[in-house]
Amino acid sequence: MELDAKLSTQPVLQMRSQRKRLWRTFVRNRMAIVGLFIVLFATLTAVFADDWFLAFFQDRDAQPLLAPFEPNKQDISRRYAEPSSQHLMGCDLYGRDYLSRIIYGGRVSLVVGVGSILLGCAVGTLMGIVAGYSGGRVENVMMRAIDVLISFPGLILALLLLTVLGAGISRMILAIGVGYASSFARLVHSATLAVKENDYVEAARAIGSSWPRIIRVHILPNILGELVVVSSLWTAGAIRAEANLSFLGLGVSPPTAAWGSMIRSGMSRLNIAPWLALYPGLAILLTVLGFNLLGDGLRDILDPRLQQ
C-alpha cells in the first residue's frame, strides 16, 4: 500500500520538479525575460487601451483607458504639434494625439500577428500530421501542394490574396496565415516522420490504438515544444508582414490606426515632423524584438542539448 502510493506520486513529483527546473532555466535567461516583459507590455497596452470590457456590458461606446485621448479625435489647431507634456508623442496631420494612436495601433498588429500564426499553426499542423502519419499517396499529394504554396514569396502571395479578397483584418489574417500554414506543415511533417519511427509508437499501434489517439497521445506532445518555439518566432515575422501590408496601404482602412500605415503617412513629413515615422517604427521594432527574444529563450530551455 505504502509502496503503491509512493509509486503513483513519483511521476507527479518528477513532473513538478522538471517544470520547476525549466522555469528556473527560463528565469536565468535574461534575454528571454526581457522578451516576455515586452510581449506582456505590448499585449496589456493593446487590451486595456480602452474599457471595451466594461462598455460591452453597459452597452455604450468604449472610453479610452490607458490611451490619454480618443485615437481618431481631430483638432486642427494641434496639427503637427511637437511632442510635449500633454501630447507625449506629438500630434499628426489632423491634430490627433499620436501616443493614443500608437497604443490603439498595437491592437491591429497583435491581432493580425497572433491570429495569422494561430490559423497557420492549426491548419499546417493538421496537414503535416496527416501527411506524415498516413504516408503513401496522401502524403505525396499534400507535400507537393505545399511545395507549390512555398513557391510564392510570402509578401507576393499576401498581396495577391488581398487584391482578390479585399482588405481588412480578417483578410489580412488569412493572407498571412496561408503562407505560414505551409511552413508549419513542412515542420510538423518532418517531426511526425521522426517520432513515428519510435518503438513506442510501433507498440501503441500493435496493441490496437486508433490513429487519432496515437497522434494525440504520442505525436503531438513530442512536437509541442518545437511548435511553441517557432510560433513565438514566427509571430514576430507575422507582425512584420502586417506592418509591410499596412505600409503598402492594404491594411485596415482609415481612420483606424495601424503602425505600418502611420509610418507611411509620416514619411511624407520627414523634414518637419520626423517623429511621426519614428515612433510607430520603434513600436514595431520593440514588439517584434520581444517575440524574437521570447522565442529564442524558449528554444534554449526546451532544447535538451543546451541544458547542461
Partner 1 sequence: MLRYIVNRLMFTVPVLLAVLTSVFFIIRIVPGDPAVSALGDYASQSAVEALREKMGLNEPLYMQYFFFLRDLLRGDLGTSLISGKSLGDQIAYALPYTLELMAASVLVGTLFGLPLGVFTALNRNSLADYMGRIFSLLGLSMPSFFFAIILMLVFAVKLGVLPAIGGGDLGNPVDNLQHLVLPALTLGLIMVASTTRLTRSAMLNVLSEDFVRTARAKGLEERAVIFRHALRAAMVPVVSLIGLWVISLSGGSLIMEVVFSRPGLGKIMVGAVMQRDYTTLQSMVVIYTLFVVLVNLLTELIYSLVDPRITH
Q: Which residues bind partner 1 (CB under 8 A)?
A: 31, 144-145, 147-148, 151-156, 159-164, 236, 240, 243-244, 247-250, 260, 263, 267, 270-271, 274, 277-278, 281, 284-285, 288-289, 292-293, 296
Sign of the torsion formed by the C-alpha atoms of 5, 6, 8 and 13: positive
Distance CA 109, CA 291 (A): 12
Cβ nearer to partner 1, comparing 218 with 240: 240
Closest distance between partner 1 and the C-beta of residue 208, in Å? 39
Cβ nearer to partner 1, comparing 33 with 145: 145
Distance CA 305, CA 308 (A): 7
Closest distance between partner 1 and the C-beta of residue 209, in Å? 36
Distance CA 147, CA 142 (A): 9
Closest distance between partner 1 and the C-beta of residue 25, in Å? 18
- Looking up cell 502524403 gives 139
Closest distance between partner 1 and the C-beta of residue 79, in Å? 21
Cβ nearer to partner 1, comparing 162 with 214: 162
Counting beta carbons within 10 angstroms of the beta carbon of residue 200, is it exposed (0 to 12), middle (13 to 18) or buried (19 or more)? exposed
Cβ nearer to partner 1, comparing 13 with 138: 138
Closest distance between partner 1 and the C-beta of residue 42, in Å? 13
- Three-state DSSP at 91 gives strand
Q: Which three cell numbers stand for residue 265?
A: 503617412
Cβ nearer to partner 1, comparing 64 with 295: 295
DSSP string, 227-260: HHHHHHHHHHHHHHHHHHHHHTT-SSPTTS--HH
Cβ nearer to partner 1, comparing 64 with 106: 106
Which alpha helices (H) appear in the chain, and where do they start and end? Answer: 2-28, 30-47, 52-58, 98-134, 136-150, 154-165, 169-196, 199-206, 211-214, 220-247, 259-267, 275-302
Q: Which three cell numbers stand for residue 1?
A: 500500500
Closest distance between partner 1 and the C-beta of residue 155, in Å? 3
275: nearest Cα among 100, 71, 89: 89
- Looking up cell 507590455 gives 41
Closest distance between partner 1 and the C-beta of residue 229, in Å? 15
Closest distance between partner 1 and the C-beta of residue 277, in Å? 5
Cβ nearer to partner 1, comparing 76 with 272: 272
C-beta atoms surrounding 203 within 10 Å: 11
Cβ nearer to partner 1, comparing 13 with 285: 285
Q: Are 161 and 174 in contact (CB under 8 A)?
A: yes
